[in-house]
Structure 1
Amino acid sequence: MVLGDRAAFELLYDALARPVYGAALRTLRSPAHAEEVAQEVLLEVWRTAAAYRPERGTVMTWALTIAHHRAVDRVRSVRAAVEREARVALRDGAARDSVSSPAESLLDRQGVRTALARLTGAQRESLVLAYYGGYSQSEIARLLGIPLGTVKTRMREGLRRLRDAFEEW
């Protein structure tokens, strides 16, 4: 890197690093993920500076928009990974249960689907993240950007509804 470029990058970093990190942290609620996103955004801004269009807004607005998009992409990526892991866990659990008859397995899966269908989307999401994703309640709160008490309530009510559904089934 040429000395002039290094000085220019330092100026860019000094001006944008904190606001970009803050925008990422508000969306992600994880300092580690926010740091990674901020680093990616600052490098992207530096590398694609020629794409900046002053008529569309300030450099700060441009960088914060990129940060928001990257943070949302990160949340979606984590959710997709958790959902994939949950599907694999369900499939692997069913494959390991070779002692049960196929009819019992089918009935069990139908019962679980029926019970899960009775939950709200928010309850189902919290329980899937906890039981299939292995996340703690605090991690779920940060990941979803909601208060810890809300996660606890969703999980408690979701478990109660699951219990009631299984008792009926």
Structure 2
Amino acid sequence: MTAPPLAGSACETLREVQTRYGGVLLSAVLRYTNGDRHWAEDVVQETLLRVWRHEHRLQPDGGSRNLLPWLTTVARRIVINDRRRRACRPKEVEVSEGDPGFFTVQDGTSQILARIVVLDAMAKLTTAHRSVITEVYLHRRTISEVALSSGIPPGTVKSRLHYGLRVMRAEREKRGVTP
């Protein structure tokens, strides 16, 4: 089956095809893929890529016939080929942390990144907040020990600890780092 002709350059042709047939083609492909939208979008993209690759076939006479039958045939063939390809491959299995076959390799990267984020967040703190957090978390001192050694009331230590941790949490979230 050869494609019906369409006028314009390759980019214009592709843009016109996508505008004119994109939504209808996606609906048809969604039926072919049993509602799998991600797969359907991939198929539509591949179909449009083939329009772009074979643009010279689409415009020899500058006619304006309906391309939808040709596009749906190309898309249907792509889906069929995908199904055949998937049938030949071993099935993909999702593995979660709770599964006995799940394992991770500890390379230290996440620890290094966490350390960088913590150090950057600590740099944003005032000296008072930084020293309280350092005493409590790094030196493992209690609030009363920190208050006694620094000569400030325990309530102030708690307050500095709270607000310092809040700033650090905000910095972590700003960078997209999860605990």
Same fold flag (TM > 0.5): no
Say which structure, 1 or 2, has more relative contact order (CA 8 Å, 6+ apart). 1
Larger radius of gyration: 2
Tell me which protein shows more helix as a share of its residues: 1
TM norm structure 2 = 0.39
TM norm structure 1 = 0.41
